[in-house]
A and B are shown apart, each in its own frame.
Chain A
Amino acid sequence: MNCNQFPDSALKYAILTAGDFTRPIENQFCTNEDFASSHFFHMPFALDNLDILAKRMLLALQEYTLFCWQSVINLFRTPHYWPDILTQCDLIGVGSLPIVVLTGFFTGGVLALQSAASLAQFGAQAYTGRFVSLSMIRELAPVLTGLMVSGRNASGMASELGSMVVTEQIDAMRALGTDPMKKLVTPRMLSTVVMLFLLTIVSDTVGTAGGSAVAVFISHQNGTQYYTSAYQALGYDDIAQGLTKPLFFGFIIATVGCFFGMKTTGGTQGVGRATTQAVVVSSVLIIFCDFILSRALLWLYSGI
């Protein structure tokens, strides 16, 4: 007897027993195999899974919040690992410099290329510098630098810490009396926040320079005009907006990377999974946070 042949009977019984219907129906109508293969009975299991998934997500959010809190509060607790902070600054900041310079330069260039063509239709090609500098400084440099550093460093942190977890190095560190949060997480968090701020300034600069290269050599505009337009368009609020964002993005990159690393389970496969999750989650969070921050900063500085 197949359960799929009796969906109505099963439905009535399910309603009568108000949820606790799995075993009785199995006993009455079908064998274990039939019961398991019934599409009808997959529904409650799917809902159960959804329930478990929601609980897991909520638990992960709670753990992440506590993790972030601990990483921040450790800034005010001894011991401070200054050599580790400097090492991380070198790895994260100096190590990411080439990709940030290349990304910034070509993004500025492409902005100039696209905007010059559009602005020329209105005879406003002279505003190319203004367009490039505003776009780069307010939005593109922080976000693109954040995404680039996320791809490079969130993955690096997750895989490094994940490997340490699966080889019991984190437990060994705790057994030797060192707090891994203080020794590994807080230095990475502080270094990423500081270095992403500085890398964004670099990206702003080379982006504007990339735009000027395109404006001068391809669109045959006047270089002085480009820079004058770019300079005059910028207000302190634009710069403040552009330099507030990397502080948040840096925090997201480091905490997400370290969080997934420290929560790694399941050997080398788990390390790979943690690495992928760290990059995906930090990238999505950066974009999401960018939207929220843009809205908040526009309201704060311009009252919009």
Chain B
Amino acid sequence: MPEPNHAQNQAERDSAIAVETEPVVLFENVSVRFDGPPVLEDVSFGVAPGETRVLLGPAGVGKSVLLKLANGLLRPDSGRIFLFGKEITAMPEEELLRLRIRTGMVFQEGALFDSLTVRDNVGYQLMERHLPVAEIDQRVQEALRFVELEHTYEMLPASLSGGMRRRVAIARAIIDKPELLLYDSPTGGLDPVTSTTIIELIIKERDVYRTPSLLVTHRLQDAFTMVSHRYDTATDKMVPLTDHQTKTNTSFLVLHQGKLIFDGSTDALVSSQDPFLKEFLA
């Protein structure tokens, strides 16, 4: 019976394509408030597979809250959030924990466990899964090599600089090959040189592993570096894009007073006539 088989195969292919194009994260009319006015109001957007979204906005506008909503660390008051196609708005914490293992998150100040060594911080997820010690050691070394901090293996977070802590946090986030990366102001409070190092790592991660990601920042220069550079594996450095090259997999979101006022490409952002955006970009 060839026809049903053919139809079945076609359905499987369609389903595979649907899964491939299904947003990794999807916000639908999400609102949240604590004590006082709403922090986020009617926010809707998505992160497609292989896509990097840069969330811009002034300090204190709710960017970190939005990021924590994306992996269920906070719950919205209304609206729906989907992570890997599953609605997490009212998902029990037990199920959420299993889903979060598939994501990696870099916190604002790194949020490394200060009583654990760099090795134990980076290999935390693997240790929780009781993998063999040799495998953990090897994968921790690989992750630390990626952020160029192999020499910090036995050190405690307290003896690292701010920039090194962020790099260790990136290593911890990527060690288990996450399907989504969330960066919460990874360059906040760092000097320009260290910030560039961190952004270079994020670009390296984006171009080498192509993990979909959501990056929160209030620093325009970081955002524009991300869309104007690519990672060159031959020279092991980030290099500026030439005139005819465009990075279509990185786009922008802008938050203002709890509302998402922009969702689109770099060109659309730069040519926007919105008064706030013009002032923000000036």
Residues of chain A touching chain B, judged by Cβ–Cβ distance below 8 Å, are 79, 167-169, 171-179
Contacts and interface: CB of A to CB of B under 8 A. Distances in A.
Contacts of A169: 111-114
Contacts of B187: none
Contacts of B73: 171, 174-175
Contact of B128 (A167, A172, A175, A176): A176
A221 B100 CA distance: 68
Given A175-B100, A177-B97, A167 B111 contact: yes
A177 B125 CA distance: 8
Q: Which of A169, A171, A175 has its CB near the most chain B CB atoms (within 10 A)?
A: A175
B108 A168 contact: yes
Contacts of A174: 73, 97, 100
Interface of B: 68, 71, 73, 93-94, 97-98, 100-101, 103, 105, 107-109, 111-114, 124-125, 128, 172, 182
B125 A176 contact: yes
B109 A177 contact: no
Contacts, number: 50
A169 B73 CA distance: 12
A176 B96 CA distance: 11
B107 A172 contact: yes
B119 to A, nearest CB: 15
Contacts of A79: 128
Given A168-B108, A176-B172, 12 more contacts: A168-B109, A169-B111, A171-B73, A172-B113, A174-B73, A174-B97, A174-B100, A175-B100, A175-B105, A177-B101, A177-B128, A178-B97
Nearest to B115: A160
Contacts of B103: 175
Contact of B93 (A171, A173, A175, A179): A179
A167 B98 CA distance: 23
B100 A171 contact: no
A168 B101 CA distance: 17
A144 B76 CA distance: 46
Contacts of B107: 168, 171-172, 175
A253 to B, nearest CB: 21
A179 B68 contact: no
Nearest to A172: B111
Contact of A167 (B97, B105, B109, B172): B109
Contact of A179 (B71, B97, B109, B112): B97
B98 A171 contact: no
Interface of B is mostly: mixed
B194 to A, nearest CB: 20
Given A176-B124, A177-B125, A178-B128, A171 B97 contact: no
Contacts of B97: 174, 177-179
A169 B165 CA distance: 13
Q: Which of B93, B112, B128 has its CB near the most chain A CB atoms (within 10 A)?
A: B128
Nearest to B102: A177
Q: Which of B111, B124, B125 has its CB near the most chain A CB atoms (within 10 A)?
A: B111
Contacts of A179: 93-94, 97
Nearest to A160: B115
Nearest to A163: B114
Nearest to A81: B128
A168 B64 CA distance: 12
A168 to B, nearest CB: 4
A79 B128 CA distance: 9
Nearest to B172: A176
A172 B101 CA distance: 11
A172 B173 CA distance: 10
Q: Which of B94, B113, B182 has its CB near the most chain A CB atoms (within 10 A)?
A: B113
Given A174-B97, A175-B71, A168 B111 contact: yes
B101 A171 contact: no
A18 B128 CA distance: 60
B111 A171 contact: yes
27 contacts: A79-B128, A167-B109, A167-B111, A167-B114, A168-B109, A169-B111, A169-B113, A171-B68, A171-B73, A172-B105, A172-B107, A172-B112, A174-B100, A175-B73, A175-B100, A175-B103, A175-B107, A175-B182, A176-B100, A176-B101, A176-B128, A177-B97, A177-B100, A177-B101, A178-B128, A179-B93, A179-B94
A179 B95 CA distance: 11
Contacts of B68: 171
Contacts of A171: 68, 73, 107, 111
Contacts of A176: 100-101, 124-125, 128, 172
Contacts of B101: 176-177
Nearest to A174: B73
Contacts of B182: 175
Contacts of A178: 97, 124, 128
Q: Which of A168, A169, A173, A176 has its CB near the most chain B CB atoms (within 10 A)?
A: A176
Nearest to A175: B105
Contacts of B112: 169, 172
Contacts of A175: 71, 73, 100, 103, 105, 107, 182
A168 B105 CA distance: 12
A167 to B, nearest CB: 6
A106 B168 CA distance: 51
A176 B128 CA distance: 9
Q: Which of B98, B105, B182 has its CB near the most chain A CB atoms (within 10 A)?
A: B105
